[in-house]
Each structure stands twice: as C-alpha cells, then as structure tokens.
Amino acid sequence: MFSESFPTVSVRGVEIPSIGYGTMLFPEPEKAVSLISQAIESGYRHIDTARKYGSEKWVGEAIRNTSIAREEIWVTTKVTEENAKADDFARSVDKSLKTMQLNYVDLLLIHWPQPKVPLSETIGALIKAKQEGLAKNIGISNFTVELIHKAVQLSSEQLFTNQIEYHPFINQDKVLQTCRKFGISVTCHVPLARGEVLKSPQIKEIAKFHKKSPAQVTLKWLIQQKDIIVVPRGLSRGEIIENINLSDFSLSDEQMNMISKLRNRNLRLVDPEVRRPVWDLP
Ligand SMILES: NC(=O)c1ccc[n+]([C@@H]2O[C@H](COP(=O)([O-])OP(=O)(O)OC[C@H]3O[C@@H](n4cnc5c(N)ncnc54)[C@H](OP(=O)(O)O)[C@@H]3O)[C@@H](O)[C@H]2O)c1
C-alpha cells in the first residue's frame, strides 16, 4: 500500500509508515495547511493529529487538496482524557471525523489515561469505534507499564501502538519491553525532544560522519530500533524533507550505543501535572 522507498512497521500484517508528520502546535496557524500539504508532497503518508491540537481541520483540508488517494495516507487521531466516558468518547470521534471530513481514521488513540473513569469504559468505547468502522486500528498514548497491562487485559482487540515520549535523552526501556511483549508498536512523540537533542555533541559528531543533520541521525536512531515509529513536526520545507529522507544511511552498532548512552539525562518534556500518570522509573 505504501511506497517501497519509505520504511514501514508491521503490526500483525498491518503496515504503518515509520515516519509520520506531527501536527501539534503550529506557531503560525495560517501556514498549517501549506506545511501539511508540503509533507504529503514530500512523501509523508502518515499524519499524526489529535482533537486536542486543533489541527484536524487543517489535516482534513490538506488531504482534500492532494491527489494522493485517501487510502494511501495513514491518519492517526486521539481522544482526550476529558472525553474518557463512553458517550463523550463517541462524540469526540464523531467530531474528529466531521472536522476532517473523513469516514474513518487509520488509528484512534486514547490520548492520556484518565484515572477518574474506569479504563474498561474507555477501552470499550475505543473498541466500539473500531467495530463501527470509524477506526481501522486502535491504541493508547502515554500509558505506563502498569496501564499497558491493564489495557491489554481489558481489550478484546489488538492494541496497535502506544504513543509515548521517546528520544535519546529519556530511558523508556521498561515501556518498550512491555509493548514488545504484547506485540504493540511504539510511536515516539517529541522524537527530537523539541530540538534539545540536536545540540548534543555526540549526535553532531555522528551526523558529521554520515554527512547528515543531527535531526536525521536522531530519527534514524529511533527507527533503526524494532517496531519504532516517529512523528516529528517540521516547520519549514527543509526540515520536512530532511526528516523523511533517512533511507540512504544506517548507524553502526557502536553509533547506536553511543546515542543510547545519552538517556541518563532523563529529560521528560511532556509532563503535564493535570494529566500525567505515575511514570515508570528507569
Ligand atoms: N501523544 C502525545 O501526548 C503527544 C505529545 C506531544 C507531541 N505529540 C505528537 O508528536 C509530534 C512531535 O512533537 P513536537 O512537535 O512537540 O516535537 P519534536 O518533533 O521533537 O520537535 C519539533 C521541533 O524540532 C525542530 N525540528 C524539526 N525538524 C528539524 C530539523 N530537521 N532540523 C532542525 N530542527 C528541526 C523544529 O523546531 P523549530 O521550530 O525550532 O525549527 C520543530 O518545531 C507532535 O506534533 C504531535 O503530533 C504527541
């Protein structure tokens, strides 16, 4: 289904492009549609949005503007923790689809865990959306080891991904191992640590060696790991193109290990007090 020149991750035979375009927070909203369109033109076939981001309308517009067939573009959206109750959840999915003017999304995620609503109710609503054909695949986001176990136990359907913060400055081994155990892929949000990792002298050195940019090396380090997907946001044509062109080089084991050692910095950028769960300690 997707172009052979771009890598994919397969979960029980369903393929998702390993590199998606993130659409959270456009500092210049008037440029959003044009940037998403540039991403599609540059070869991205995976767009990451959420009800919370306010970007669904721009995603829908960019998809309508392109000649690429809808089935060839993977769209992920999310339901916020404020809509964890079954009725609210269903309304949120309905709004997402109406806003994007789509009949279905490829992947629907519970954006954050909601301790005030039984997880069984939210998982039930997630499964219902899949059974009604509104989402082809379902998953979770920002779920810890304990919560992943609970979600798997409660779900009669395969969970496709857990979207978590993962980049070279954070140790996510426990969550990664748990996801692998259950055949759940991992999608990395803030894969570039919002630019922080690009300042690393080690990453810069490896980038110089490969004649690539620090962003390319960072994204390559992520997707070279098993069943890892990334959704970087680029705010210029140059960044957008750079972030998807990762096929013509690979990192040696030594270079992979060198970058893995940077995790001790333990930088967690997405940590909102109002909705964070008790994170797993490294
Ligand atoms: N599930 C969740 O809870 C959750 C949470 C957060 C994010 N997300 C998803 O993850 C996506 C990515 O996160 P993010 O946008 O916050 O962070 P990010 O992708 O780690 O960083 C994006 C920033 O990095 C810089 N950048 C990107 N490509 C570059 C390149 N090639 N060279 C140099 N700098 C580059 C740009 O900064 P400048 O503007 O300075 O150029 C860009 O704004 C979001 O858009 C969203 O879809 C999900």
Q: What is the pLDDT of residue 282?
A: 86
Contact 6, 18 (CB under 8 A): yes
Give residue 114's pLDDT band: very low, low, confident or very high (50, 70, 90).
Answer: very high
Domain ranges of the chain: 16-192+226-235
* CA of residue 25 to ligand 1 center, whole Å: 9
The helix (H) or strand (E) run that includes residue 77 is strand 74-79
CA–CA separation, 257 vs 266, rounded Å?
16
Closest CA to 220 of 78, 72, 7: 7
Atom of ligand 1 nearest to the CA of 214: 32
Could you tell me if the CB of 79 is within 6 A of ligand 1? no
* CA of residue 154 to ligand 1 center, whole Å: 32
Residue 92 has phi, psi (to 5 degrees) of -65, -40
Please report, for residues 65, 109, 118, 173, 213, the alpha-carbon distance to residue 140 in angstroms, rounded to integers and kept in the order given: 29, 5, 15, 17, 31
Q: What is the pLDDT of residue 87?
A: 98
| 149-201 residue pLDDT tens | 999 999 999 999 999 999 999 999 999 999 999 999 999 999 999 999 999 99
53 catalytic residue (yes or no): yes
CATH code given to domain 16-192+226-235: 3.20.20.100
Q: Supply the residue whose CA is at minimum distance from atom 9 of ligand 1.
A: 189
CA–CA separation, 148 vs 179, rounded Å?
8
* CA of residue 121 to ligand 1 center, whole Å: 32
Q: What is the pLDDT of residue 1?
A: 55
Percent of the chain at pLDDT > 90 equals 97
Contact 193, 179 (CB under 8 A): no
